[in-house]
């Protein structure tokens, strides 16, 4: 992946793991619902489009609600 570069994306998202998770969830959402946040994309694939949204600053990490307890945390 050359564009956007991982270094430029790490300035927007704190870790590679968070970046991959965020991009994968957004790519799935685009595949199922077809909604787009940007007018045009360079990438043809949904993961690349999601990373372009992160680079543009439109897609950001949501703060986790600490009151929610997930099953794997019990």
* CA–CA distance, 46 with 69 (Å, rounded to integer): 30
pLDDT value of residue 31: 92
pLDDT, residue 28, reads 93
Of the CA atoms within 13 Å of residue 31, those in its CB half-sphere come to 11
Dist. CA 51–CA 46, nearest whole Å = 9
Q: What is the pLDDT of residues 14-72, one digit of tens each?
A: 888 888 888 999 999 999 998 888 889 988 999 999 999 988 888 877 776 667 666 66
pTM of the model: 0.74
Residues 7, 27: Cα–Cα separation, whole Å: 20
């Amino acid at each position: 992946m050359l564009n956007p570069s991982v270094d430029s994306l790490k300035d927007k998202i704190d870790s590679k793991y968070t970046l991959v998770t965020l991009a994968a969830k957004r790519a799935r959402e685009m595949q199922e619902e077809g909604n787009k946040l940007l007018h045009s994309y360079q990438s043809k694939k949904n993961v690349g489009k999601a990373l372009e949204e992160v680079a543009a600053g439109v897609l950001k990490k949501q703060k986790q609600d600490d009151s929610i307890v997930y099953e794997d945390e019990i």
